[in-house]
A = this chain, B = another copy of it.
Amino acid sequence: MGSNDRLFEVSRRAMLSAFAAFTAFPMLHTPAMAQTAVTDPLPSWNDTVTKKAIVTFVERVTKQGSPDLVPSAERIATFDNDGTLWAEQPMYFQLAFALDRVKALAPLHPEWKDKEPFASLLKGDLKAALGGEAAIFQIVTVTHSGMTTVEFDQIVRDWIATARHPVTERLYTEMVYQPMLELLAYLRGNGFKTFIVSGGGIDFMRGFADRIYGIPPEQIVGSSGKLNFELRDGKPVLVKLPELDFNDDKTGKPVGIQMHIGRRPIAAFGNSDGDLQMLEWAKGGAGVRFALIVHHTDAEREWAYDRTSSIGRLDKALDTAEAMGWTVVDMKNDWKEIFPFGSK
């Protein structure tokens, strides 16, 4: 199969599985539809214990008559984004966005050619430019503030429509995990409301999450900067200020969940130590709960990294997962496909 055929085949399967999940609602059952409903809703997942754990959980909390039935309104599922729904190597995609923005804005900032970290970045010395957290914070701040929310949204949409991944040369929006797209559709088909709870920028993710994940702006929780309401020529605008307001990572994730959602998720999905507290929070409630960690184990088709990686470090959360019996996805063995287009 050529890569286009393959993409088409995988997309078609995903559509079918989404349809199957949708028709799984009893009220829509007709004899003709019941047949489609037996289609595997998770075709890109191998038949391993991981897939079985997911399906068993969903059936326990959704099947009529199950002692563990959870009302639809309480079926809240939260997903980390970077490394859980889409890739995060060789650098967080939002950082790639910030670097591209520095280059685009450089003509308006002649002073940058003598000022670090911008000088190194503009000379192409990424290693020097991204040498520390302070430098990265500075790059993100100047590229994510000073404009209105409407302007920023357009900047993100323009970038994401054309920017390509440095290794695969695919659009970043193609670098999503096919098995996770199926999982999102499967959960929604079973009455779950799916949320993103990410350390990434809330306004950044809103520029594409609806289109690529089917997750609308109001179901996205993320890090954010302060906003200022102003009237400009009598028209109201919200200006993005160069000041961090909320860091939606680690212990921030349960806090973000409480602020935005106000219910405790019954299922949470992550891939790094930044997700540990979200998973603990989800598992800490009463009744049947589900916590899943995506473990990046496939150097050939994606990337292999965990305890020592500076991006998406998975160390303490992996120990906790093992100790607590949480579900851990072994990408290499559990996933038939990685991306909709195939693999790296």
Chain A positions near chain B (C-beta within 8 angstroms): 73, 76, 149, 193, 202-203, 206, 210, 216-220, 224, 227-229, 231, 235-236, 238, 251, 254-255, 258-263, 277, 280-281, 284
- Is the CB–CB distance between A227 and B203 below 8 Å? no
Known: A216-B73, A260-B260, A262-B202. A251 touches B235 (CB 8 A): no
- Is the CB–CB distance between B227 and A263 below 8 Å? no
Sampled A-B contacts (11; CB under 8 Å): A216-B263, A217-B263, A218-B263, A227-B258, A228-B251, A229-B254, A229-B277, A229-B281, A231-B280, A238-B254, A238-B258
Smallest CB-CB separation from A252: which chain B residue?
A: B229
Chain B residues in 8 Å Cβ range of A281: 229, 236, 238
How far, in whole Å, are A224 and B246 apart by their CA atoms in the complex?
A: 13
- A109 CB to closest chain B CB (Å) equals 27
Number of copies: 2
Chain B residues in 8 Å Cβ range of A263: 216-218
| CB contact between A202 and one of B149, B210, B259, B284 (< 8 Å): that residue | B259
- Is the CB–CB distance between A229 and B255 below 8 Å? yes
Chain B residues in 8 Å Cβ range of A235: 284
- Is the CB–CB distance between B236 and A254 below 8 Å? yes
| CB contact between A227 and one of B238, B255, B280 (< 8 Å): that residue | B255
- A227 CB to closest chain B CB (Å) equals 5
Smallest CB-CB separation from A259: which chain B residue?
A: B224
- A321 CB to closest chain B CB (Å) equals 15
How far, in whole Å, are A235 and B218 apart by their CA atoms in the complex?
A: 29
- Is the CB–CB distance between A218 and B258 below 8 Å? no
Chain B residues in 8 Å Cβ range of A238: 254-255, 258, 281
How far, in whole Å, are A45 and B243 apart by their CA atoms in the complex?
A: 46
| CB contact between A217 and one of B217, B261, B277 (< 8 Å): that residue | B261
How far, in whole Å, are A326 and B203 apart by their CA atoms in the complex?
A: 30
Chain B residues in 8 Å Cβ range of A218: 76, 193, 218-219, 260-263
How far, in whole Å, are A272 and B193 apart by their CA atoms in the complex?
A: 34
A228, A277, A284 pick with most chain B CB within 10 angstroms: A284
Smallest CB-CB separation from A261: which chain B residue?
A: B218
Chain B residues in 8 Å Cβ range of A149: 258
How far, in whole Å, are A284 and B229 apart by their CA atoms in the complex?
A: 12
| CB contact between A251 and one of B229, B259, B261, B280 (< 8 Å): that residue | B229
- A256 CB to closest chain B CB (Å) equals 9
Chain B residues in 8 Å Cβ range of A203: 262
Known: A218-B193, A227-B258, A229-B255. A236 touches B277 (CB 8 A): yes
| CB contact between A259 and one of B227, B280, B284 (< 8 Å): that residue | B227
Smallest CB-CB separation from A260: which chain B residue?
A: B260
- The 4 closest A-B CB pairs, nearest first, are A217-B262, A229-B251, A236-B284, A218-B261
